[in-house]
Amino acid sequence: MLDPRDNHHDSLQEPWSQDNTQALASTMNIAWTNELQAWVNATRAFYMEFDHSPNTRVLIKYLKTHVSVDITSMTLQIHLSGNPALILAQLAGIPKPKQCF
């Protein structure tokens, strides 16, 4: 598996940095936590592995296997009001999922 901190994936438009992501999260009124960092890193890893952004359902399955079995859609909704897949894609610096408007 590729390292989610790798800034050189061919499909990514701009270099990604955790500092920029933390600043973006702050502007979105999202508290930066170790848990959120793990979710963002896993979202980037998914994109690098499959070359597309996950929708919420797929994202939750991926997070359950790569971050914590305790993650549910409710967990994501509590921390990320709105569309979790879209918000995590924005924070991860990857394209929004195709199903998101």
**What is the reported pTM?**
0.81
Our count of domains for the chain comes to: 1
Q: What does the pLDDT profile of the chain (101 residues) look like in tens digits?
A: 444 444 444 445 467 788 889 999 999 999 999 999 999 999 999 999 999 999 999 999 999 999 999 999 999 999 898 889 999 999 999 998 876 55
> Would 13 be classed as within a structural domain?
no
Q: Report the CATH number at residue 72.
A: 1.10.10
pLDDT value of residue 35:
93
> Would 32 be classed as within a structural domain?
yes
> Would 76 be classed as within a structural domain?
yes
Q: What residue numbers bound the domain in which 61 lies?
A: 18-92
Q: Is 98 exposed, middle or buried (0-12, 13-18, 19+ CB in 10 A)?
A: exposed
> Would 84 be classed as within a structural domain?
yes
